[in-house]
Structure 1
Amino acid sequence: MANTRGKSFIGRFGVHIAVLIFVAIWTIPTLGILVTSLRDKDQITVSGWWTALTSSTQTVAGRLPGASAQVERDGTFVIEGNIFESGSGQVGAFGTRVQAPTQYAAGETAELNDGVTMQLNEDGSFVLTSPQAFEGDRGQRVYYSVLQPPSFTTENYNTVLFSEGIGRSFLNSLTVTVPATVIPILIAAFAAYALAWMRFPGRALLIAAIIGLLVVPLQMSLIPLLKLYNGVGAFFGVPAKTYLGIWLAHTGFGLPFAIYLLRSYIAGLPREIMESARIDGASDFEIFVKIVLPLSFPVLASFAIFQFLWVWNDLLVAMVFLGSGSDQLVLTGKLNALLGSRGGDWEILATSAFVTIIVPLIVFFSLQRYFVRGLLAGSVKGG
């Protein structure tokens, strides 16, 4: 008994460790996206999100004032000032060439050409001296590293959430996602019950075909499905690029996995319940509605999470079946258009990514208590 208990304890401990690892793998990137979306864009480019609470060093390029700012002192021409407009900051090092932007330490005197010297102090104050008068309005080029304190802002969210068309694209995504999640569940539930408990010719062949469809790549079937839809739509006078088309597309792509998952669960329900209901005179439809559906809610919720996440985050199917017009663009498409040629704007990219996962997070945490139970319950047959 001790060995059994020991194995049981070790098994439970191992499961807990595995769960913690998976939670960390899922949570850490999400936390990184959230922190990055709230950071100042200049700090994002020079340090990682894990340094958000510490000061960061940033190299800045600028120019000192030109000849109009010089004064003469004892035969020496001097230009003085402060490189910080706000008057606050901390310089770590400086230089006059882009190849060596931190050649001199703050407070050190740099010897330039023609007897010109430059001194840049930690507080940003500088002194530029020359034995001859400075000429030209373009001042001396200077590079310096600045120690920046942590900086957070909501400006990134203002840019993303209040850009033109975001509200409409959000509603478009909901219009696509909700029906494209409900329709496959309805069809798959009927099909799963029939394949699990009803006997008819070709049943095994249908099950094999459904399993085979699980490995069909989306990219391979997308264009043939579009041509088929356009052909049928033209015959019946249905216009292309409608919500109906994308609902049917997502339904077709989601049905094989939905039927496979639901059938595995429904087939594991106790046979005695079905037989008792048949003895009491219940039809297959009554058994399905009154017994199977209530008992199958965990697996239905599990598939709903999968399908909702897939459809909500989809861009390819939406662009092909719905189009890219301003009144048809889904949220992922709108955020992609917002980035445009500014792919290097990490603050916009991180903010857009976090905005897109808010709704899936709400759905997941609402149904998460059914998630694992629905996935695992079908693996063990009922008594």
Structure 2
Amino acid sequence: MNILALLRQENASLISDMCEAGHQVFCIRDAAVHFRKLLNLPIQPVDFDENHAVMDMPAGFEFGETMPMIIDGIKDCIRDNKIDAMVTWTDAPPDQRVSILTARHMGVPTFEITHGATNTYRQGHFEYESYVDYVLAPGQHEADFRKFYGSNANVVVTGKPSFDWITQSENLKFSRNEARAQFGIDERRPVIVHAMTWRHPFSVWERDRDWGDKAVIEAHMNLLPICNTFLIIKPHYSQGNKEYANHIRNYCETAGVTDFAVMTGGPIVPLTMADLVVTHKSSIIVEAFLLDLPVVMFEFRERNDFSWFDGYGAELVADRGELYPAMARCLLDRETKERLAVERARGREYFNYKCDGDAGKRCVEVIEKAVAERQAA
């Protein structure tokens, strides 16, 4: 089977699973080169002809100028490479959306690997409906959320392939001690990881430009004399460039913040060091659950949809004044820690299905079955 994969680095394990199942995977050239180096697998590059005339678009909608090139490029790729299926990390942005619609127009089954695990960007409504034939969802939460808000998407619960690393990793305790030693952090010292998520105008912060980072930092400074906390601030990887990291670092130093570090890149190293994860409504919550870490999830706005998370392993905070007490309870109060540990057992399966390291394989099986049914019809 030939699969066109419009995927990101976080989906590398899924690409590996598709190749191991005997399928040929095609990616846009830059992504193909990257995945070849990363996985040492024969990912096939796809080139788009850039000689197509652009579409004249009004100011503010310039993103649409390249749509003819994308449509023709997807058509050529499907015809030339006899593509049987298309898989994308999301169908929300215009480029991915028009690619999916083009593939469907040509009769190719399409699949979305939900890149979030907690519906981060949806706040009691949907900005868009999914156009793919199948949404391969991390857990039952995705299916329930979509159904409640009236989505007609065809959701298949598989688990999230990019979380498979957690159950496949060995000796995490050793990794924790090794990581802490590398940063000079005593193994008994409480480490708080403040994980930022991606920020954009349609997210949960559109009304409140104070995204809560200051409240987390202030809570750390209040906890420091009590239990000697160390704070790791982790920007979302899409914003984790040197300039932004230096901006955060300079702010903290100017404000007199101590005992902290800014850490860019993936979540593995900070999570293996963590005793508490404090974040917005982000996928890293589920990764923390899988690593059996307590979580404080905060969202400072007049309305929220915490009902989807209540009782699944996170302390939920909607008021700035409650953030510090919640963080203190998670680190110091035995009853709170025991209650959250019980809740996390439910949260792991609700947000990530079986949590057995085989989510990628299940995704491949769903794709294989759907393609076979389409071809037999």
TM-score range, shorter chain: under 0.3
TM-score, structure 2 as length reference = 0.21
Query: Larger C-alpha radius of gyration, 1 or 2?
Result: 1
TM-score, structure 1 as length reference = 0.21
Query: Where is the helix percentage greater, Structure 1 or Structure 2?
Result: 1
1 or 2 for the larger relative contact order (CA 8 Å, sep ≥6)? 1
